[in-house]
A and B are shown apart, each in its own frame.
Chain A
C-alpha cells in the first residue's frame, strides 16, 4: 500500500506571498491531520479533516487554512507568509477511531525569505 504523499517536498517563498501544500492519504484513510514542525516550537497540531469537514483546529492564526476533497486528499493554505512560517509541514492520515494511529508523510519544507 502506498504511503502518505506530500507535494511539493521543498518550497521557497517570499514574505507576503501565499502557499498551498498538498497531501494524499493512504488509500482507505479518510482522516487527514496537519502538523507544523520547527526547531523552537517542536511539533504543533494545525487541524484535522474527516469526511471533508474540519473536526479540530490548533492554536494558529486564521492565515492557516485547509480543506479536504471527496477523495480524502487535503490541502493546506498559508496566506500572507511571515518569516516565522518557515517550517516542515507534516501531513498524517488515519482510519479515524482505530487506536488513533496516524501515519505521516515525508513533509514539505517551506522556507520564507
Chain B
C-alpha cells in the first residue's frame, strides 16, 4: 500500500536558520502530495500542496517540490521563526477517485530565539 516516510525529530533550530524536512513516498499511480502543520492543541492546517511532478508548492515562506524521479517532497524554509515551532506532516492522496490521506509520522520542529 501507499506510505510516507519523513525524517523523525525532534528538530531544534535557531531563529533565522535554514530548514529542511525530508519526505519520501511510495505510491502507485499519480498521487497528490501535501504538507500539513499542527500547532499545540490544534488540528491540522494545510501548509502547501503539489498535484503533479515538478510542481512546487509554496506558502508562508515554505516550499516543496514534487520530485517523481526520487519520489520525494522535501519541505524547506530559508529563515525559520519562533512561530514556526510545530509538528509538520507530509501526506499523500493516491488519486484515481480516492481522497484518503496517508500521513508520515510527523516531525516536531522547535525554533529557539
Q: Which residues of A does B touch, CB under 8 Å?
A: 4, 31, 33, 35, 42-43, 45, 48, 55-56, 58, 90, 92, 94, 96, 99-107
Contact = CB atoms under 8 A, between A and B. Distances in A.
Nearest to B105: A42
12 contacts: A33-B99, A42-B103, A42-B104, A43-B101, A43-B106, A56-B100, A92-B101, A100-B49, A100-B51, A100-B99, A102-B99, A102-B101
B43 A94 contact: no
Given A43-B89, A99-B51, A100-B32, A105 B101 contact: no
B45 interface: yes
A94 B98 CA distance: 12
B100 A104 contact: no
B100 A58 contact: yes
Query: Which applies to chain A's interface (DSSP): helix, strand, loop or mixed?
Result: strand
A33 B101 contact: yes
A104 B39 CA distance: 13
B46 A33 contact: no
B43 A99 contact: no
A31 B105 CA distance: 25
A48 B99 contact: yes
B43 A90 contact: yes
Interface string B56-98: 0000000000000000000000000000000001010101001
A45 B102 contact: yes
A109 to B, nearest CB: 9
Contacts of A90: 43-44
